[in-house]
Every structure is written in C-alpha cells, then in structure tokens.
Amino acid sequence: MASRLLDMKALNALLIAAFLITTFQAQSQPARDQEIFTSREFLEQLLKDNVYNFVSAKIAESLLLHRVEPIPPHGFMMAKVSGTVVVAFEINKQGIVTHATVVSGPKLLQAPVLAAVRQWRFKPYTLVDRPITVATSIPISFSN
C-alpha cells in the first residue's frame, strides 16, 4: 500500500512538472509587455512542501470562498494595457493561498493580480475525506 502511494506521488510530481514545462514552453515567445518567471523555484517549492496533487483552474475556482478582485493601477499607461495574468500557487490544508507566483502576463498587471490572489480563501481540497495541499494555476484576464 505504501509503495503504491509513493508511486502515485511520483506520478503526480511528474504530471505537475510536465504541466509547468508545457505552460512555460507555450509562453516562450512573449510579447514585449510580458515577462515570464521561471517555474524552477515554484516546482522546487512544491516538492519541498510534498505537494503532489495539481487541480485544474476550474476545480480551484469551484472551491473559492473569498475572492478579492485586483485593482489595476491608474494612469495613462493602464488605458493601453490588457491581457491575461497567469498565477500559480498552492492552496494549503486550511484553504489559504501560499507560494503564489506570476507565470506570465503584462508587467503592469502582475503586482495587483498577485496581491489580490494572495488574499483569496478556498474551501480545503479533500482526498478520502482529508484536507490536502494542492497546486493550481489560474488565468485572470483584463480588457480595456
């Protein structure tokens, strides 16, 4: 039983790595107003925290209890900025966002989106009726 659980954890870790690599490769040609942050630190943090389960954005959003909307910066430049900011983070056993990091998106929108996501609260994800820490990434779009 323990060996099978270890095999499942290893498989989930590989799936997380494949997802993150695919996400970052898809963003390999960003627009000039975008900056891509490395996934290495985020992936290392997941492994350090023993997070082997990744949930989709749709599942994560269904668990969302408290959402704070990002407040975009004001000014002339903001009128010209639109796009999608992708944020990857952990949802811990208490439903609190930890280790949030921007994956991609317009530079001017990254800080407000990250500040908002860090305030979100989720219903804890459960596996066999026990809360577990999971990783996810969610795209947040802005348009003008």
Position with higher pLDDT, 80 vs 100: 100
Position with higher pLDDT, 52 vs 70: 70
Residue of 28, 70, 20, 8 whose CA lies nearest to 45:
20
pLDDT on residue 17: 55
Confidence check: pLDDT of 14 > 70:
no
* Phi-psi sector, 71: left (phi>0), alpha (psi -120 to 50), beta: beta
pTM: 0.69
Q: Please, what are the domains in the chain?
A: 2-142 (3.30.2420.10)
**Packing angle between helix 40-48 and helix 2-26, nearest 10 degrees?**
160
With cut-offs at 50, 70 and 90, classify the pLDDT of residue 117: very high
User: How far apart are alpha carbons 95 and 30 in whole angstroms?
Assistant: 32
| Secondary structure E strands in 49-124 | 64-66, 83-91, 97-104, 121-122
Residue 39: strand, helix, or coil: coil
With cut-offs at 50, 70 and 90, classify the pLDDT of residue 54: confident
Residues 114 and 102 sit within 8 Å (Cβ to Cβ): yes
